[in-house]
């Protein structure tokens, strides 16, 4: 197997490892934690955590899609030049 093939395989294995073995995170700011503190608000606190994570994921997805589109644009320009 060539060096680029090994690099390609290693990158994809790392990606799959991080997807399948990711850890859950509690994403609360200090103000949210203070407002939702206590044992009686566990469902509400979990809902706030999920909302924060959801809002955090959207910008990353947009950047990834834009990056992919730029990558495809450069690849098509390379094919036209060759």
4 φ/ψ angles, rounded to the nearest 5 degrees: -70, -35
Give me the sign of the Cα torsion angle 65, 71, 74, 75.
negative
The pLDDT profile of the chain, 82 residues, written as one tens digit per residue, is 556 667 888 888 888 888 887 766 666 677 776 777 777 777 887 888 888 888 889 999 999 999 999 999 999 988 888 6
Q: How far is CA 78 from CA 16, 21, 51, 75, in A?
A: 29, 36, 41, 5
Overall number of domains in the chain = 1
Q: How far is CA 60 from CA 27, 55, 71, in A?
A: 16, 10, 16
What is the spatial distance between Cα 29 and Cα 27, in angstroms, rounded to a whole number?
7
Range(s) of the domain holding residue 27: 3-81
């Amino acid at each position: 197997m060539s060096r680029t093939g090994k690099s390609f395989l290693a990158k994809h294995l790392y990606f799959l490892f991080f997807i399948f073995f990711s850890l859950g995170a509690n994403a609360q700011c200090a103000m949210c934690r203070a407002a939702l503190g206590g044992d009686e608000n566990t469902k509400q606190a979990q809902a706030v955590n999920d909302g924060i994570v959801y809002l955090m994921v959207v910008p990353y997805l947009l950047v990834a899609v834009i990056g992919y589109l730029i990558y495809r644009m450069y690849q098509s320009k390379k094919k036209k030049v060759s």
